[in-house]
Amino acid sequence: MTSTVEAKSPIQAPSRRPRRRHRVLIPFGVALVLIVVTLVAHAVDQPDPGDRGFLSPIATDDDGGSRLAEALRGKGVPVRRETDTLRALAATGSGPATLFVPAPELVHPDTVGALAELPAGSRLVLVDPSRRVLEGLGAPVVPTERRWATRATAPDADGHRCPLPEADVAGTAAADRQRYATSPGQASVLSRCYAGGLIRAPGQTELVAIGASDPFRNDRIGELGNLALATGLLSGPRPVIWLDLDGPAPAPTYGTGPDGEPAWSPTPGSGSGSDYGSNDWQKDDDPESGGPAQQGGDNRSTDDEAEGETPPQNPLWAAFPVWFWALLVQLALAGLLVVLWRARRLGPPVPEPLPVTVRSAETVLGRARLYRRAGARGPAAETLRAAALDRLLPRLNLPPDTPPAEAAARVARRAGIAADQAEALLYGDEPTTDRDLLELARALDRLTRTVAASPDHPTEGDPR
């Protein structure tokens, strides 16, 4: 006996659609979670130079620089903290000094050029300076590659000998994050260490740029050679002027001298012999001029200069290398293609007849295996009871919407069993084990055969 059946299995459609949906959602969900966790961990690990107390000589938290200041004083190096750029420049006017700028981005663009015009023999130490700051200094240095996180390397990690004695003494240190190189077309000979993470440009004011803040921070200064590197760059016969800015510096205020000229004024190259820097900022020594910090001086408008400033770069874009974003776009396109490839037509599922004839026994066996694999004893019992009622109700001349109590009473009277027993067989609870399901199937089969064997009112097709 053969039959053509329709694909209306209650197990197939609900079980296959969620699996296909999960195949797409789970990988994208895992990737999204990994990206979010990575971004949060990186944001927590890498401090923001704009935060209050970042590399401050009086800050004792993880991102402060109090341990470095104590180490310098322990070596006999005077440390003077200044919170104003012009005051810090004025503090270097008495002789050679080391000007330490841990957050160059906070220095106002109008005063960046003045950092390069310190007294002869001075050293300017910048932590992670950007291209804007280096161009403002006129330094023959440009930033190149930037790593996701700081890497601890040896001074000669790129195969070139490091000419800085401070780096040789320190050895392996965490200085390789932002790398620097010589500007195109410049003939200056720069000293590079830590694969370009530390660079020195000679001149009247010696420029030292380091691409990571780790060697100076309280939480990392004790690792590897960080302490020796940080103290070596700031130590020496010169006092240390520590420029501690707690936010973006305002536009400089210029005092006026007796002749009405500003006390701090940029002049053309002064022939000082500096290898870099085209601006020569000179301090007015006249005590009547009020010096660089005089209040009530003329405030110069910086609207024109601000209009020409480069807008700040998105920190999220700068946090990842270019190849990461390219790979992310390719993965997104590949995921979209997979979704389009695996997607089905919109709308509810429509039952369709099978294209081939399937034997009834094979159909029953296949559906039974599906029920067993899914552990669907309840749906299997409902199917068996519905099939039994489809055969019993016509035998008893009852409509399909007969109430359960009446149908169970009629079936019990015909089969010669109790009404409660008939109702439990036809409308009872779901079986809890496979054995209970098997006993239910056998009982329904016996009940159906008993009722069909001796009908009170023969129907069409029954023997008379």
The rounded distance, in Å, linking the Cα atoms of 129 and 146 is 12
The rounded distance, in Å, linking the Cα atoms of 27 and 13 is 23
Does residue 57 have a pLDDT over 90? Answer: yes
List the domain boundaries for the chain.
12-44+323-342, 66-297, 358-453
CA distances, 439 to each of 117, 326, 385, 443 (Å): 99, 63, 13, 6
Position 92, amino acid: T
Cite the DSSP H helix spans in 195-344.
Answer: 226-234, 303-307, 315-319, 322-342
Does residue 8 have a pLDDT over 50? Answer: no
**H/E segment holding residue 6:** none
pTM: 0.53
The class (CATH top level) of 66-297 is: alpha beta
What is the band of 341 on the pLDDT scale with cuts at 50, 70, 90? Answer: confident
Q: What is the pLDDT of residues 223-245, one digit of tens each?
A: 999 999 999 999 888 899 999 99
- Averaged pLDDT for residues 408-423: 88
Question: In terms of Cα–Cα distance, which of 321, 439, 351, 260 is closest to 8?
Answer: 351
- Averaged pLDDT for residues 62-66: 90
